[in-house]
Amino acid sequence: MAIQESATDTREPADGRAAPLLTVRGLKKYFPVSGGMFNRRVADVQAVDDITFEVARNETLGIVGESGCGKSTTARLLMRLIEPDTGDVRFDGQPVATPGGMPLREMRRRMQMVFQDSYSSLNPRLPIVDTIAYGPKVHGLARSEARARARGLLQKVGLDPDRFAGRYPHELSGGQRQRVNIARALALQPDLLILDEAVSALDKSVEAQVLNLLVDLKSQLDLTFIFISHDLNVVQFISDRVLVMYLGQVAEIGPVDAIYGEAAHPYTRALLSSRPSMDPERRVSEPPLTGDPPNPINPPSGCRFHTRCVFAEEVCRHKPPALAPVGRVAGHSAACHMAVAGSGHSRAVGA
Amino acid sequence: MNQPGTSEKATTPVRPLVAVEDLRVRFVTKDRTVHAVNGVDFTLAPGEVLCILGESGSGKSVTLRALMRLLPKHRAQLSGKVVVAGEDVTAMSERQLQQLRGGTVAMIFQEPMTALDPVFTLGTQITETIIRHDRVSRTEANRRALELLELVQIPSAKRRLAAYPHELSGGLRQRAMIAMALSCRPSVLLADEPTTALDATVQIQILLLLRSLQQQLGMGVLFVTHDLGVAGEIADRIAVMYAGRMVETGSVVDVMRNPLHPYTQGLLGATVHGGLRGQRLTTIPGSPPNLEYLGAGCSFAPRCAHATPRCDGEPPPAVSIGADRMARCVLVEKSAAEAAGG
């Protein structure tokens, strides 16, 4: 049974470079907006519009962006909780949910998700030990073994099984419930954990506890994380690489130090300087951006950020910029005409 | 006045806009009693921004609501003294309260979509308040509503007066709610996490707007937040709450640079910022106490690394350091005594 083998498989391709654990190409999802007399499709919410990225083994990819930018939809598409319109998702080298590829059930064993709302993602009528043991039982583990594994996991996430195993979700605090959710996600011994705003609802003192726990679990269990959050500080703390999303598209992607140190996209820079300064004697004096993010139903033409960008020019209004390498660090790319020589933007590099 | 950390106010006594003494709020139901606020004292000077900082369940929002008596009448038992603009709020009749709410004291909330009425346009909702409190004509009220939307920097304000709340983005809705709160020129503005539900780029816009409006209009602002960064952007003074008590108060610079109470220290350490990458975050072990069963001693003692037997037995002393600084902790008492002795 597949479940018995833990995630120790580290196959490497011939050239010695570890193959990415997850490869996503051209992922796209439009949600129809219907209306009118015959309830026809009148528009689309372009929730995720052609995004491409990779996640290497044992790394943490942070995804940041404002509400409505498609970061949670991306997570749900990866888990196939929503069916993508187009896009090629490969997990551990195999295409997912296509004939001859990795079956969905197998992919979902190896890729698990933790949600923001710790209460609604637990069954209120089950003691937490049964919630954690449920997945392994479905995947073929004997009842007693599944329970033993659940108790071991409770221990691992810092909840004493003798005290907590029989409790119901409402008997736990928010931080404890989120620990249970993490244990539940780990019960199938996955390779990849998608954490969708997993610490956002927690109080600061508890958030720090859960972040420390995640860092520990990652190294103990050789996990790979996709960490989705709107909190730039938390993403900087936990991520190896960061993907910045704006209105369903990738604005910038790169190693965490490159993104936070030498951001190339004006949106990333604005997002970073929107953070409170944490120094009452050097407060933010000007808002880096005006207005709210536009509606993803009718996103702006060309570069989607041009309506709020101080550097926007004619070319930005017409031509969508492609993701292109920027800066000195390998793997750092941004979708901005200013980053591409000869793009027609007056501030383009080398112009 | 708006330089954070100025404490000259202490030398020239201004009559405080808000004075709260020994405020206690209990929620009583048939099967339990929750002690939400347990003896809170503070004052707010005109033109001052006081941030009440605390985690969920610390009693910060209940304290704020108590100032307008916006708590459920039968379940909430309120005691202590609450004086707003010279008047005792605890003794007010329902009629007087209606004059107070939206008149002298106005409030903005975290979630504008639930605070605004979805079936009326913004214009109707704002003019309703103005007509109710100031008894002016509809034309005059309309003129003022337009002025207010311009004051809070809503683009194409005239058109927006005819808009329903759902037609606006989150940031515009929050601006509209601020406009409504300011419609009767309140002298005290209560803000209950007004930027928590907003995106980062919008949050900073609203904070800067509130800061400039507060300076223009000279309001006293009580700003409740759980976010230290937000407090650092807007506060003159910070009051840190834990389990229904204010454990530390002081100027924003003092509290953020040199926290005295172990809880404030823990909170600062646990706040994630970029420089901490690769390090272990300092945490506060455990979780906040159950407010049904509060002991006599320091509520933070079970989570405190410095707890002594004395902490469990008696309420921690409120130690004043200088004119504008207080911490409720035996440790601070000891170090203050040493400083005075040496």
CB B214 within 8 A of CB B221: yes
Report the pLDDT value the prediction gives residue A11, as an integer from 0 to 100.
42
Mean pLDDT, chain A, integer: 90
Report the pLDDT value the prediction gives residue B319, as an integer from 0 to 100.
93
A237/B171 CB distance under 8 A: no
Would an 8 Å CB–CB cutoff place B165 in contact with chain A?
no
User: Which chain A residues in 61-120 lie under 8 Å from chain B, judged by CB atoms?
Assistant: 66-67
Q: d(Cα A64, Cα A197) in Å, to the nearest integer?
A: 10
| Residues of chain B with C-beta less than 8 angstroms from the C-beta of A176 | 287
Token code pair at residue A64: 């940041």
Token code pair at residue B152: 């809070």
B170/A292 CB distance under 8 A: yes
Mean of pLDDT values over B251-257: 95
Whose tokens are 């992607």? That residue is A253
**Separation of CA A320 from chain center:** 24
User: Which chain B residues in 56-75 lie under 8 Å from chain A, judged by CB atoms?
Assistant: 56
Q: What is the number of residues in chain B?
A: 342
B277/A236 CB distance under 8 A: yes
Q: Residue B283: which of A209, A233, A260 has the nearest Cβ?
A: A209
B274/A237 CB distance under 8 A: yes
Would an 8 Å CB–CB cutoff place B226 in contact with chain A?
yes
Report the pLDDT value the prediction gives residue B250, as an integer from 0 to 100.
96
Tell me the per-residue pLDDT of B300-340, one tens digit each, with 9 for 90 and over: 999 999 999 889 888 899 999 888 899 999 989 888 888 77
| Residues of chain A with C-beta less than 8 angstroms from the C-beta of B201 | 66, 270-271, 274, 287-289, 293
Q: Is the dihedral of CA A285, A291, A296, A298 positive or negative?
A: negative
Q: d(Cα B268, Cα B259) in Å, to the nearest integer?
A: 8
Residue A5 has pLDDT above 80, yes or no: no
Q: Is the dihedral of CA A193, A197, A202, A206 positive or negative?
A: positive
Residue B5 binned pLDDT confidence (cut-offs 50, 70, 90): very low
DSSP H or E stretch at residue B176: helix B170-182
Q: Which of A11, A117, A99, A27 is nearest to A63 (CA)?
A: A27
Residues of chain A above pLDDT 70, percent: 95
For residue B159, give Cα distances in angstroms to A139, B117, B166. Answer: 58, 18, 14
Token code pair at residue B164: 């329903």
Residue A4 has pLDDT above 60, yes or no: no
Tell me the per-residue pLDDT of A168-197, one tens digit each, with 9 for 90 and over: 999 998 899 999 999 999 999 999 999 999
- Cα-only R_g, chain A: 22
Residue B2 has pLDDT above 50, yes or no: no
Q: Is the dihedral of CA A319, A324, A326, A331 positive or negative?
A: positive
Q: Residue B233: which of A233, A283, A289 has the nearest Cβ?
A: A283
Q: d(Cα A165, Cα A153) in Å, to the nearest integer?
A: 10
Which of A104-108, A265-269, B142-146, B313-317 has the least mean pLDDT? B313-317
Residue B8 has pLDDT above 70, yes or no: no
Residue A292 binned pLDDT confidence (cut-offs 50, 70, 90): confident
**Which is it for strands B188-192 and B105-108: parallel, antiparallel or unpaired?**
parallel
Would an 8 Å CB–CB cutoff place B274 in contact with chain A?
yes
Which of A173-187, A304-318, B168-182, B262-276 has the least mean pLDDT? B262-276
Which of A26-30, A148-152, A336-340, B276-280 has the least mean pLDDT? B276-280
Would an 8 Å CB–CB cutoff place A175 in contact with chain B?
yes
Cα angle: B109, vertex B110, B115; to 5 degrees: 50
Q: Give the three-state DSSP class for A120.
A: coil
DSSP H or E stretch at residue B107: strand B105-108
**Separation of CA B275 from chain center:** 29
Give φ, ψ of B305 to 5 degrees: -75, -20
Would an 8 Å CB–CB cutoff place B166 in contact with chain A?
no
Report the pLDDT value the prediction gives residue A300, as an integer from 0 to 100.
93
Question: Nearest CA of chain A to the CA of B341: how many Å?
Answer: 32
Mean pLDDT, chain B, integer: 90
- Quick one: closest CA in B to A172, which residue? B287
Give φ, ψ of B141 to 5 degrees: -65, -40
Question: Among A210, A292, A298, which would you mutate to test the B interface (most chain B Cβ atoms within 10 Å of its Cβ)?
Answer: A292
Report the pLDDT value the prediction gives residue A7, as an integer from 0 to 100.
42
Report the pLDDT value the prediction gives residue B197, as an integer from 0 to 100.
83
| Residues of chain B with C-beta less than 8 angstroms from the C-beta of A231 | 272
- Quick one: closest CA in A to B284, which residue? A205
Q: Residue B272: which of A211, A276, A288 has the nearest Cβ?
A: A211
CB pairs under 8 A between A and B: 133
Residue A2 has pLDDT above 80, yes or no: no
In single-letter form, the type of residue at position A291 comes to: G
Mean of pLDDT values over B142-154: 94
Give φ, ψ of A294 to 5 degrees: -65, 165
Residue A206 has pLDDT above 90, yes or no: no
Question: What are the start-end ranges of the E strands in chain A?
Answer: 22-35, 40-55, 60-64, 86-91, 94-95, 111-114, 192-196, 224-229, 241-246, 249-255, 324-325, 333-334
A204/B226 CB distance under 8 A: yes
Q: Give the three-state DSSP class for B24.
A: strand
Residue B14 binned pLDDT confidence (cut-offs 50, 70, 90): low
Q: Give the three-state DSSP class for B132.
A: helix
Q: d(Cα B63, Cα B163) in Å, to the nearest integer?
A: 34
Mean of pLDDT values over B259-280: 87
Residue A33 has pLDDT above 90, yes or no: no
Question: Among A177, A204, A207, which would you mutate to test the B interface (most chain B Cβ atoms within 10 Å of its Cβ)?
Answer: A204
Q: Which of B220, B169, B219 is nearest to B197 (CA)?
A: B169
Mean of pLDDT values over B163-190: 92
Q: d(Cα B270, Cα B254) in Å, to the nearest integer?
A: 18
User: Could you tell me which residues come within 8 angstroms of residue B3 by beta carbon, excluding any fewer than 6 positions away?
Assistant: none
| Residues of chain B with C-beta less than 8 angstroms from the C-beta of A265 | none
B201/A176 CB distance under 8 A: no
Tell me the per-residue pLDDT of B79-133, one tens digit each, with 9 for 90 and over: 999 999 999 999 999 999 998 998 899 999 988 888 899 999 999 999 998 998 8
A204/B253 CB distance under 8 A: no
Residue A16 has pLDDT above 80, yes or no: no
Q: d(Cα A218, Cα A227) in Å, to the nearest integer?
A: 12
Report the pLDDT value the prediction gives residue B208, as an integer from 0 to 100.
94
Which of A8-22, B50-64, B243-257 has the least mean pLDDT? A8-22
| Residues of chain B with C-beta less than 8 angstroms from the C-beta of A285 | 208
Question: Nearest CA of chain B to the CA of A56: how many Å?
Answer: 19
Q: Residue B201: which of A173, A176, A288 has the nearest Cβ?
A: A288
Question: Nearest CA of chain A to the CA of B84: how many Å?
Answer: 28
Report the pLDDT value the prediction gives residue B114, as an integer from 0 to 100.
84
Q: Residue B55: which of A203, A276, A281 has the nearest Cβ?
A: A203
